[in-house]
Amino acid sequence: MKKISAYFINYNYKGKNGNLEKGSLFFLVILFAMFLHMPFVFAVSKAKIDLARLSSVKKDTTSSETLSALNKFDDNAIALAYDRMGLDKMGLSEQAFNYAMKGFNYLVQHGKLAKDNIISIVDFTLPSSKKRLFVIDLDDYRVLYNTYVAHGVNSGREYANQFSNQPSSYKSSLGFYETLSTYIGEHGYSLRLDGLEKGINDNANSRDIVIHAADYVNESFIRSQGYIGRSWGCPALPEKLHKPIIDKIKNGTCLFIYSADNAYLKKSKIINA
């Protein structure tokens, strides 16, 4: 380092009238480039430290302090979040979560959602006797609600495996939705939905596909017949939980209804973006 500094100093002294020569200019350019690069270096280092710190935490850790370090738009963070929240133990498939987050990020980046702090996922790979609705706070990666949700009467009995966007089909529709406003209707306090996938669920409004309460979505039905009751296509919720859930997810959050349905996975422009 001394030799290099001496070289630049000596090289500079060779100039006429005390003006800076090429050696000194080159040295200053290097210093300036290092100065500009420093914030990027520190940012990368911090990201590596955060991921390393999270990786060292035990898998059963779900503290909000740990999960709040995650970035909802980072693939590595998404994988860590699935693990840290224990979603596998709760029954949500990793594929459903990954597709949900991929589509959520796409919608946020294209300005399709009013809010980016909540995502609701319905996993129809699970039977209706399982709690297959997951409402997740993406600011600190906490599962706010995990409960039962109905599917359409013509989508199947215990499992939902047939889907439609057609009026009067009484089937569920897959894909991404944005939640809209609330209203008081036939089923009481309810939440309108806007289907965001053309040809897949964009008839949600005309079909009156909404989130509402239903007395057939409860464990007594599971005990008596092995599955909960079914709707006319709406993701109906338990009566005791529908109000707090609707209040949490209303006015612009993302809802993703998933099934490992090949026709949907091939057709969805959001999934394949």
Place of tokens 């995502």: 119
Furthest-apart CA pair in the chain: how many Å?
A: 99
Q: What is the pLDDT along the chain (273 residues), one digit of tens a residue?
A: 444 444 333 444 444 444 445 455 555 545 555 545 544 433 333 333 333 444 444 344 444 454 455 556 677 788 889 999 999 999 999 999 999 999 999 999 999 999 999 999 999 999 999 999 999 999 989 999 999 999 999 999 999 999 999 999 999 999 999 999 999 999 999 999 999 999 999 999 999 999 999 999 999 999 999 999 999 999 999 999 999 999 999 999 999 999 999 999 999 999 999
Question: What does the radius of gyration of the chain's CA atoms come to, in whole angstroms?
Answer: 27
Sketch the domain layout of the chain as residue ranges. 2-52, 78-267
Label the pairing between strands 254-258 and 118-123. parallel
In this prediction, residue 72 carries a pLDDT of: 62
Residue 193 near residue 204, CB atoms below 8 Å: yes
How open is the CA angle 24-29-30, to the nearest 5 degrees?
100
In this prediction, residue 71 carries a pLDDT of: 58
How open is the CA angle 151-156-161, to the nearest 5 degrees?
85
* Residue 180 φ/ψ, nearest 5 degrees: -115, -140
Concatenating the DSSP letter of every residue in 182-204 gives: EEEETTEEEEEEEE-STTTTTTT
Q: Which residues pair with 222 in a beta bridge?
A: none
How open is the CA angle 189-196-105, to the nearest 5 degrees?
105
In this prediction, residue 23 carries a pLDDT of: 53
Place of tokens 């294209």: 110
- Indicate the SS3 state at residue 272: coil
Count of H helices and E strands in the chain?
Answer: 9, 7
| Predicted model pTM | 0.76
The one-letter amino acid code at 217 reads V
Question: Hey, what CATH class is 78-267 in?
Answer: mainly beta
In this prediction, residue 248 carries a pLDDT of: 98
Alpha-carbon torsion angle 166, 170, 176, 181, nearest 10: 100
